[in-house]
Amino acid sequence: MTEFVVLKNLQPQPELVRENIKKDPGFGKYFTDHMAHIRYTIDDGWQAHEVKPYGPLVLDPAAAVFHYAQEIFEGLKAYRHADGSVWTFRPERNAARINRSAERLALPQLSEEDFINSLKALVSLDQAWVPTPESEADESSLYLRPFMIATERFLGVRASHEVDYYVIASPAGPYFAGGIKPLSIWLSTTLKRAGAGGTGFAKCGGNYASSLVPTNEAAAKGCQQVLFTDAEENKYIDELGGMNLMLVTKDGKLLTPGLSDTILDGVTRRSLLDLAPQLGLEPVERKIEVEEWREGAASGEIVEAFACGTAAVITPISKLVSEDFTIDHGETAGEKTMELRKTLLDIQYGRAEDTNNWLVRLA
Ligand code: COI
């Protein structure tokens, strides 16, 4: 196993500042004292594994990432259990996904061992930053953001010969400011996030960049998220701006779009599909037309909708708003939505037995 060399931050945040941040961290605003780093060159492969003080990167203005967006990332969380230990959830799935993203973006493969050890090295050093949940309703955690960027100084359009991988960590509360208050979603029918053969399934910055204008459009309509439809026929449910979408039917199906070139293989998505049978739900992955959702909601066949992702956990959806119609599930979170949410969070926070061995100890 390659050891991470530790270069300690000699000016960490004072304890009082850190404890205050953990009380109300919001999402993605504050960062811990260190970051993990591994450097890749085409000649030497991955090398120089280190954890060093968190701080700005010095990059050449001609670094490929700035020009051709050769960049990928991951998102996972570290959860503090009641006995003080710190765990993460199914990190081998993130390790596999970063390599699928890397393959699509012509970035180098990173071993599962390096990926998981980078999390362990960082979190064991910065474990004081992992919030302790005060109640079952408190979903605070330490959000982990591994990312890989092309850093060769070269303006020709080809895969970079130099790459840097980092992990940064950020104490996190709910992703949406309203917590689990049901969301309004805007249906974007003109602007697309991804198409067949593109990068939609990869976790690359470009997918998120292309969701920003539609997200602004959504905000202008009073909505907190955007839903994309497919680029070919403009009728199938694709993804939300930064998370997957699920529907619950009256007859007990948990419906979500099947994996394709444009759908991110979300770890929360997969885990909910895996957990569905124990809550009496049948998981169904297939193409779903927006029209099916609209008719199903009107007839009472589709009874709940929610967004899911590592950052979003499970956030209920109250409305889908479009130029022509509104689907309204009401302002009360759905019963199955909340059951799924509790089942997942209880495993992640160590309140329920981890019968699937999904948890990996970080500290
Ligand atoms: C995550 O859920 O971890 C993501 O990367 C999505 C992003 C919208 C924060």
Give tens-digit pLDDT for 238-290: 999 999 999 999 999 999 999 999 999 999 999 999 999 999 999 999 999 99
Please indicate whether residue 309, judged by its CB atom, sits closer than 6 Å to ligand 1: yes
* 176 CA → ligand 1 middle, Å: 11
The stretch 147-165 carries a mean pLDDT of 98
Average pLDDT along the chain? 97
pLDDT value at residue 89: 98
The yes-or-no verdict on residue 37 having pLDDT over 80 is yes
For the cut 90, the answer to whether the pLDDT of residue 121 exceeds it is yes
The sign of the dihedral angle between the CA atoms of 276, 281, 284, 288 is negative
Tens of pLDDT, residues 176-197: 988 889 999 999 989 999 999 9
Q: Is the CB of 214 under 6 A from ligand 1?
A: no
In CATH terms, 183-348 corresponds, of 3.20.20.70, 3.20.10.10, 3.30.420.40, 2.70.70.10, to 3.20.10.10
Q: Where are the domains of the chain?
A: 5-172, 183-348
Closest atom of ligand 1 to 266 CA is: 2
Indicate the residue type of 268: T
- Segment 25-51 shows an average pLDDT of 98
Q: Which residue has the tokens 């230990």?
A: 85
- Which helix H or strand E contains 180, and what residues bound it? none
Given a contact cutoff of 8 angstroms between Cβ atoms, the answer to whether 198 and 261 are in contact is: yes
Give the closest residue (by CA) to ligand 1 atom 8: 242
Pocket test for ligand 1, best of 175, 239, 263 (most atoms within 8 A of CB): 175
Share of the chain above pLDDT 90, in %: 97
Residue 329 has pLDDT above 90, yes or no: yes
The response to whether residue 242 sits with its C-beta less than 6 Å from ligand 1 reads yes
CATH classification of 5-172, choosing from 3.90.1170.50, 3.40.50.2300, 3.30.470.10, 3.30.390.10? Answer: 3.30.470.10
Report the alpha-carbon distance of residue 239 to residue 210 in Å, rounded: 12
Asked if residue 218 lies in contact with residue 186, where contact means CB atoms within 8 angstroms, the answer is yes
Residue nearest to atom 3 of ligand 1 (CA): 75
Alpha carbons within 13 A on the beta-carbon side of 165: 28
Is the pLDDT at 2 greater than 90? The verdict is: no
Q: 132 and 38 in contact (C-beta within 8 Å)?
A: no
Atom of ligand 1 at shortest distance to CA of 73? 5
CA nearest 84: which of 124, 138, 115, 139? 124
Residue with CA nearest ligand 1 atom 5: 75
Ligand 1: nearest atom to the Cα of 242: 8
Q: Which atom of ligand 1 is nearest to the CA of 311?
A: 2
Q: Is 36 in contact with 167 (CB distance < 8 Å)?
A: yes
Mean pLDDT of 146-161: 98
Separation between Cα atoms, residue 291 and residue 237, nearest integer Å: 9
Residue 1: pLDDT above 90?
no
